Structure 1
Amino acid sequence: MASELSSVPADPGAGHSPDRRRPVGSVRYPPLGEDIVGELCSLMFASLPRRDQRLRGEQYVRGLLSTPGRKSVRNIAAQVGGGSAVQSLHHFVAGSTWDWRPMRAALAAHVERTTAPAAWVVAALTIPKSGRHSVGVGRRFVPQLGQVLRGQHALGLWFASPLTSAPVDWRLLLPEEWTRDEDLRRRGEIPEGASAETVEQSALAVVSQTLRQADVTRRPVVLDVPGNWTDPAVLGRFARYGLPVVARATPGSRLLVADPSMPGYGAGPLSAEQILMSVRGLRRTVEWDDPERGTWRTSSAVSIRVATPGSPAGGDRRPLYLLGEWEDQWQPPARMWLTDLAAPACRLLRLTKVTRRVSRDLATVGDRVGLRDFEGRSFRGWHRHTTLASVAHTASLLTGPTALTALAEESTAFAGPARLSA
């Protein structure tokens, strides 16, 4: 495992401007047979024991990259293998026995080498479902939409920088009914060890999986999901992993002012919004590159040292800071973050903006390659499809937008390993 990270990361916004931004990797489609997609598939599928599995894996990834519309097995087969490939591709994803975890470890190591991530972002993925048969379907409140939504809910771990991001691991959030009901467990082929998890447990699990399995450098973890991130036990787990944390805080999060020179010190637990409003006179203007809009923007920010109520005094725990961001100086903070990174507010604010890169790449690349499109019903099938879609996402980033368009146009001419019969 690579050595632990310095407590203050490099500023992820330094050195970038919109007129200098360019896609990672080539934007010209390489010749088929010697292309980046084929090379990436060779690396990712090295853990598959059989040659036919490796060939079907490449076929599936090429289909995800080139199939228009919904990425069902039938549509993928029609695009890259013909009707005879439907059964074999369905079995490869839903019924085979290959383990997706080594593939995710290889993907994480590859994204680390090729994109130089500034942070690991834990982000939610919601997959609306109207039926009851897909594994893990349930009702959950989605803060981004402000409503309860029925569907599958997952957490993804993304390696992200201001220029690019890619998902490298996933955790499917199973409602309790799917883990208590033996019929549902059997129908969804849920492994014996899988159980219902809180958001905090799932975030810790997806991060620890990557640490255990992949040869990667520790980065700050940006928790872009609502959760009880003020819990000292949760923060302590990340600290033991050697991972700095930047976690979304809610206006009502209860915290203690830990700086004797600041308003509110000694006043007991206060809301995050109260604390930040009391120091709004210390705000500084921060310029940052918005990957969603492709422009430079400004907001104001301030950070203040805080502590969590009930946290043990002393010890080796790093100090905590509350970061607030304002878009309108006359309104309460638009966003709030809790972090154990001792860095200037401007640097911390720019680091949080990698979450916007993840949102943009999910919308423009991840959804295009079918991250939400698995139509099977099994737990293992969902994980295999999502892993292959993550490989396709990375391939599209490394080949560039022109390459992805060319792949869609020329996929029917692919007569190499991906053309398999049933």
Structure 2
Amino acid sequence: MYTMVEPRPVSRIPRARDRHRDAELRRHREQLLGTLFTSLSRRDQRVRGEHYLRGLLLADGRKSVRNIALSLGRPDEEQRLHHFISGSTWDWAPIRAAHAGFLDQVSPPRAWVLHAVTIPKDGEHTVGVDRFPDPRDGRSVNGQRAFGAWYASTAFSAPVNWKLFMPRHWIDDETLRGRADVPATVGYEPMGQCAADVVLEAARQFSVPPRPVLMDLRTDPDWCSARRLADAGLPVVARISANTPLVVADAVPASSDGRAVSSASVSALSILDSAKSLRRAVDWADPGGSGSVHTSWVAAVRVRRGARQLTLLGEWRPGQETPAQIWVSDLADAGPAELLKLTKLTRKVALDSSLGADRTGARDFVGRSFCGWHRHMTLASAAHTLRLLALRGGS
């Protein structure tokens, strides 16, 4: 077992509050490290797991196996660590469950956040790599696409499960499958199914109570991922595009130009334009850790998409005529203020990803092994939690 030491300014005498914070931080670290590898029956695997996790925190630059071994001062460990990640047979699912269980105790999540990740790669040999248009700007990207299921609260967020999207040609080509050691049980899943299953898989394996799932449907016009989650009993809060067609289920005042809203499908933006008179100011604390309080104007309208009853939520920033963000939710009992504050957890995940996961190797796996990618991502997620605990004093 290793100990991470948080530096303290020598010019300041520790106060009781600081000592309590440091003791709590050490306790959390020991708790996580004490449970993370209990599913590994062999001592050498537990030792390698701790070494790899420590290296993810210590290595500068890309978290390659070589850099991890060098950061530990153990260059001769490179081959053994490579085998531990890419050539061994240990199951990553119990380690992910242990990580989620730890987070459930120290910072119970308010929601799942479904976070899509694009990982640019050179060449064609990294598992799952493909060429595809970037949904943000349409430019061609060579890389991997993955989905992370994040536990998120206002105090802390961390990824607890991952799925790598495997393009159809990787699944259908026996040479590629063999080269990447893709298990026979892995078949092709469309993008929307892959996205939903990263949450569904975790929810079933971790045996946690249902929580809302925050997601982005702007690149999923058919909403197949949201339907899978809703059919499984998980509430959904989803960001949508302004031109998404919806049917108004409530009476809405006439729009600013005097036109009534039709009972036929109209765009979400048109509906919200008609609902501007319903807007109310809502204060919300920035979950990014700055402590600043912001004010948004929000309006909610009951709508339908197919047979589903939903709440359409628009958020306007002060002085704006067009909504900054548009969301829909099937949380029937949640008011506009509650829904708005819930959506801000996506800001928390974006910030924590840049502070933690992106710096502990979530984009750095280089290899052909499908199972190696999952093992690496499992330990990178635990390293993310340890890093953020150190940065935030265990809060």
Q: Which residue of structure 1 lines up, in the alignment, with residue 247 of structure 2?
A: 256
Question: What is the CA distance between 1:134 and its match in structure 2?
Answer: 0.4
User: What aligned pairs does 1:94-173 form with structure 2 within 5 A after superposition?
Assistant: 94-144=86-136, 147-173=139-165
Report the equivalent of 1:409: none
Q: Which amino acid aligns with 2:300?
A: S
Is 1:346 aligned with 2:320? no
Q: Deviations over 1:357-379 (max 9, x none)?
A: 10001101111111111112211
Contact 2:127/2:180 (<8 A) preserved? yes
**Match for residue 373 of structure 2 among 357, 379, 382:** 382
Equivalent residue number for residue 275 of structure 1: 271
Q: Find the counterpart in structure 2 of residue 411 from structure 1.
A: none
Matches within 5 A, 1:176-325: 176-224=168-216, 226-228=218-220, 231=223, 235-261=226-252, 266-292=262-288, 294=290, 295-309=292-306, 311=307, 319-325=309-315
Number of aligned residue pairs: give it: 370
CA distance in 1 between partners of 2:390 and 2:182 (Å): 36
- Structure 1, unaligned stretches of length 5 or more? 1-21, 312-316, 404-422
CA distance in structure 2 between the aligned counterparts of 1:29 and 1:141, rounded to whole angstroms: 46
Contact 2:356 2:385 in 1 (8 A): no
Return the alpha-carbon distance in structure 2 between the equivalents of residues 381 and 107 of structure 1: 18
Q: 1:58: Cα distance to partner?
A: 0.7
2:39 — aligned with what?
Answer: 47
Alpha-carbon displacement from aligned partner over 1:164-203 (angstroms, at most 9, x marks no partner):
1000000111122212222222222222232333332122
CA contact (8 A) 2:128 2:144 kept: yes
TM-superposition CA deviations, 1:286-305 (whole Å, max 9, x none):
22222347222222111110
Deviates more, 1:346-355 or 1:107-116: 107-116
Find the counterpart in structure 1 of residue 321 from structure 2: 331
Residue 387 of structure 1 and its aligned partner are, at CA, apart by: 0.3
Kept in 2: contact 1:26–1:400 (CA 8 A): no
Which secondary structure does the structure 2 equivalent of 1:374 belong to? coil
C-alpha distance in structure 2 between counterparts of 1:267 and 1:240, whole Å: 26
Structure 1 residues 31-110: aligned runs within 5 Å: 36-110=28-102
Checking the alignment, whether the CA contact within 8 Å between 2:216 and 2:240 is kept in structure 1 is: no
Contact 2:315 2:323 in 1 (8 A): yes
Tell me which amino acid in the other structure corresponds to 1:361: D
Deviations 1:245-299 (A, max 9, x none): 1011111211100113555665311111111111122111222222347222222
- SS of the residue 2:115 aligns to: strand
Q: Distance in 2 between matches of 1:368 and 1:235?
A: 30
Say which structure, 1 or 2, has more relative contact order (CA 8 Å, 6+ apart).
1
User: Using a 3 Å threshold, how does the CA distance of structure 1 residues 61 and 29 change in structure 2: closer, same or farther?
Assistant: farther
Q: Cα RMSD over matched residues?
A: 2.5
Task: State the TM-score, normalized to the length of structure 2.
Answer: 0.86
Partner of 1:406: none
TM-score after normalising by structure 1: 0.81
Deviation at 1:352, TM superposition (A): 0.4
Task: State the one-letter code of the partner of 1:336.
Answer: I
* Identical positions, percent: 46
CA distance 1:247–1:229, shift in 2 (3 Å): farther
Task: Please state whether the residue corresponding to 2:359 is helix, strand or coil.
Answer: coil
